[in-house]
A and B are shown apart, each in its own frame.
Chain A
Amino acid sequence: MGCTIVSASASAMYCYTFRRLGRGLRAALGRRTLVGIFLLMLPAAAAAVAVPVALSAVLAAALLVMRFTRCSYAAALTGMSLTVSADIVISGILLHIIGTYVRPELPGALGIIAEILLFSILRCTALYIIAVASVRDISADEYSCDKHGLYTAVCFCAAAAAVMAGFRGYSLPVCISSALCVILIALALYGERQRAQLRRELCQTQLQRDKYGNELSMRISNSDRERRIHHDLRNHISMLSSLAVQKKYDTLERYLGKMMDEIKMQRCYSRSGNRDIDSIINYKLAEGNLDEELADISVLVPPQIAIAPFDLDVLLGSLLDNALQGISEGGGRLSLEMRHNRGILYIKMKTSGGTLKDKSDELCGEFGKSREQSAAMDYVDMVVKKYHGEAEYSNENNDYIASIMMYADTTQ
């Protein structure tokens, strides 16, 4: 009975702490690999003397559930199984080595303290390498431990350590090091999450700053040109009038042509009044050096819509990057229609052109069958999903169409 309570507590503790970790591991290694690792480690864990039978039963049941269901806890159980199994094997080896070579050399209390410290440090290090370092690069929220996970892990840990300490057969070093391990790993994951969040915010700020900077420089440049034209207008008119009087029509035509070139504003593809959307479109298309005649841009959206600028950047940036890549190498046309109607944002982007056929493989990768391979389109899907929307991609007669709807209220 005691063993069962201890095992259940330990399982719950591991499960909660490593739930998110399990998803990270699954993403990093794949489900099959993890199941394979667990199956390899299970006999080793079962063979270890200190393993209560109940714990093995819980782990086996967890594996069974994971095998036959697609519930979100499956990955958590996998992570837990892997970590617990590794922990058991590592603990057994460490305790054997320390008990044989370290403790007999030191007298009484000093020996106990040295055993606890040494065992805790080595065990924590090993588990840190297995559980945290392997998913260190995965910085998305769902892969790390959140604040509630941390608190719960600490509570579970303290309770489990207290329960375990009350039973014979469990040495004090194991109890204390278990508590330290879980706290350390939870803290490390929590720290990783905080750092990831900070990195994301920094990235978002940087993007925003770049975008507004580009927009501003574009506007300043346009404004300077307009001012110069207005300033010289009187001179230009008198010159034109003089040429007309002298019937020098060829010169007049050339002069007018020069004026037109001067007046021609820097490319401005979108003037919807929504600063975020305009700046993304104008910047991307100007950067892609797209001829205005090849771009049919129709944006009809309110000045403010409830979509985070970062998400708009990701969404429009990815769509435009893909389209421009195809157009620049294939020489096609771009058509972008954005409309906001009754709380819904509709986006329809079409790239078309005869020579796009040469790029069919890549473009199909973006909009067609093997779309999963295109990371950019995955980002688009992610944003669309966040706003409860829907995206469709089609490829008809050499026209590649991305059609998107998203719920986006207005913010007045």
Chain B
Amino acid sequence: MFKIAVCDDEKQVRDELSVMLNQYSRASEIVVTFAESSDDLCDMLMDGKTFDMIILDILSGVIDGIRLGKILREKLKNTSTHILYISNEQGYAMDLFDIRPLNFIVKPIPAQKLYHCIDTAMDMFTDNDGCLVFNIGHTEHMIPYRNIRYIESNNKQVTVHAENDEYTYYGRLDDVPVSSDFIRVHKSYYVNRCFVRAYRFDCLKLDNDEIIPISRSYQKEVRELLHSLAGE
């Protein structure tokens, strides 16, 4: 099941979202938890509760939505939960960049846009749900794709850069099976899109400030892919 948390201090908005989520075509695949303020949601997260997606009001409670996003990403080191921000204001908060939200919707929330965002998150969840399996010596390792930042090859060795560790084994990058969230940006690199903080035409910056080059031969491919994804 796909776990969604909805956090908004306005009851009317929560009720509207509840109705919309009940009418969602894939309602049977989701479980929804409601929080009355971001403080409540923060407590839940601190207690170890996890969600696959959070629909979060930017101004909700003492801890605002942006601060809660930062806590989730930086303190709890959670990079896999998708955050969908909702707000009354159209203005864009610069701080949102560091949180890498899935999207940003201005109230009143259009149902189709909400469904599209959930679809995207669910598809990414399904795609990224698998594991990369490889052997180092006689030991088999299984690393969930969602925890892999990028995969690098160097001198017939493949290095898997996971969130908390690195694994190196003999192999070729072409033989590494990856989920659809990974993009090939170089003959020596696969990068997980979920960890990308900013794209440039010739390189990309990851959430840990590492810079990965996009080689000239892959620039067109990357550009086309990003265009087709249109900001998902």
Contact A405 B227 (CB under 8 A): yes
- Does A381 interact with chain B (Cβ within 8 Å)? no
Residues of A within 8 A of B227 (CB): 389-390, 392, 403, 405
Contact A342 B223 (CB under 8 A): no
Q: How far is the CA of A273 from the CA of B199 in the complex (A)?
A: 22
Q: Nearest Cβ in chain A — how far from B117, in angstroms?
A: 12
Residues of A within 8 A of B94 (CB): 302-303, 410, 412
A405 touches which one: B104, B198, B200, B230 (CB < 8 A)? B230
Give residues 355-412 of A contacting B (CB, 8 Å): 387-390, 392, 403, 405, 407, 409-410, 412
- Does B47 interact with chain A (Cβ within 8 Å)? no
Q: How far is the CA of A388 from the CA of B97 in the complex (A)?
A: 21
Q: How far is the CA of A388 from the CA of B196 in the complex (A)?
A: 19
Q: Which residue of A lies closest to B227 (CB)?
A: A405
- Does A343 interact with chain B (Cβ within 8 Å)? yes
Contact B92 A342 (CB under 8 A): no
- Does B201 interact with chain A (Cβ within 8 Å)? yes
Contact B92 A303 (CB under 8 A): yes
Residues of B within 8 A of A208 (CB): none
* Given known A-B contacts A348-B230, A390-B223, A272 and B92 have beta carbons under 8 A apart: yes
Give residues 175-232 of B contacting A (CB, 8 Å): 196-201, 205, 219, 223-224, 226-227, 230-231
A339 touches which one: B100, B197, B224, B231 (CB < 8 A)? B231
Residues of A within 8 A of B198 (CB): 342-343, 409
Q: How many residues of B contact A (CB 8 A)?
A: 22
Residues of A within 8 A of B224 (CB): 390
Q: Nearest Cβ in chain A — how far from B68, in angstroms?
A: 20
Q: How far is the CA of A301 from the CA of B104 in the complex (A)?
A: 11
* Given known A-B contacts A388-B223, A390-B223, A390-B224, A271 and B90 have beta carbons under 8 A apart: yes
Q: How far is the CA of A272 from the CA of B93 in the complex (A)?
A: 10
Residues of A within 8 A of B100 (CB): 342
Proximity string of chain A (287-324) to chain B, C-beta cutoff 8 Å, 1 when within and 0 when not: 00000000000111111000000000000000000000
Q: How far is the CA of A412 from the CA of B95 in the complex (A)?
A: 11
Give residues 116-132 of B contacting A (CB, 8 Å): none
Proximity string of chain B (96-113) to chain A, C-beta cutoff 8 Å, 1 when within and 0 when not: 010010001010000000
Q: How far is the CA of A343 from the CA of B94 in the complex (A)?
A: 12
- Does B91 interact with chain A (Cβ within 8 Å)? yes
Proximity string of chain A (315-351) to chain B, C-beta cutoff 8 Å, 1 when within and 0 when not: 0000000000000000000000001111110101000
Q: Which residue of A lies closest to B232 (CB)?
A: A341
Q: Nearest Cβ in chain B — how far from A276, in angstroms?
A: 14
Contact B230 A273 (CB under 8 A): no
Q: Which of B92, B197, B199, B219 has the most CB of A within 10 A?
A: B92
Residues of B within 8 A of A344 (CB): 199, 226, 231
Q: Which residue of B lies closest to A388 (CB)?
A: B201
Contact A341 B231 (CB under 8 A): yes
Contact B201 A407 (CB under 8 A): yes
Contact A405 B92 (CB under 8 A): no
Contact B91 A343 (CB under 8 A): no
Contact A301 B92 (CB under 8 A): yes
Contact B199 A342 (CB under 8 A): yes
Residues of A within 8 A of B200 (CB): 343, 407, 409
Residues of A within 8 A of B197 (CB): 342
Residues of B within 8 A of A299 (CB): 90
Residues of B within 8 A of A389 (CB): 223, 227
Contact A273 B92 (CB under 8 A): yes
Q: How far is the CA of A105 from the CA of B119 in the complex (A)?
A: 94
Contact A405 B223 (CB under 8 A): yes
Contact B230 A340 (CB under 8 A): no
Contact A346 B231 (CB under 8 A): yes
Q: How far is the CA of A407 from the CA of B227 in the complex (A)?
A: 11
Q: Nearest Cβ in chain B — how far from A57, in angstroms?
A: 37
* Given known A-B contacts A388-B223, A390-B223, A403-B227, A343 and B199 have beta carbons under 8 A apart: yes
Contact A302 B226 (CB under 8 A): no
Residues of B within 8 A of A301 (CB): 92
Q: Which residue of B lies closest to A299 (CB)?
A: B90
Contact B196 A272 (CB under 8 A): no
Q: Which residue of A lies closest to B100 (CB)?
A: A342
Contact A300 B104 (CB under 8 A): yes
Q: How far is the CA of A182 from the CA of B120 in the complex (A)?
A: 63
Q: Which residue of A lies closest to B230 (CB)?
A: A346
Beyond A340-B92, A343-B199, 12 extra complex contacts between A and B, CB < 8 Å: A272-B91, A272-B92, A300-B104, A301-B92, A302-B92, A342-B198, A342-B231, A346-B230, A388-B223, A390-B227, A405-B230, A409-B198
17 A–B contacts from the bound complex (CB under 8 Å): A272-B92, A273-B90, A298-B106, A300-B90, A301-B92, A302-B97, A303-B92, A303-B94, A341-B231, A342-B100, A344-B231, A346-B230, A389-B223, A405-B227, A407-B201, A410-B94, A412-B94
Nearest 8 CB-CB pairings of A with B: A388-B201, A343-B198, A273-B91, A341-B231, A405-B227, A343-B199, A407-B201, A390-B227
> What residues of chain B have their CB less than 8 Å away from a CB belonging to chain A?
90-92, 94, 97, 100, 104, 106, 196-201, 205, 219, 223-224, 226-227, 230-231
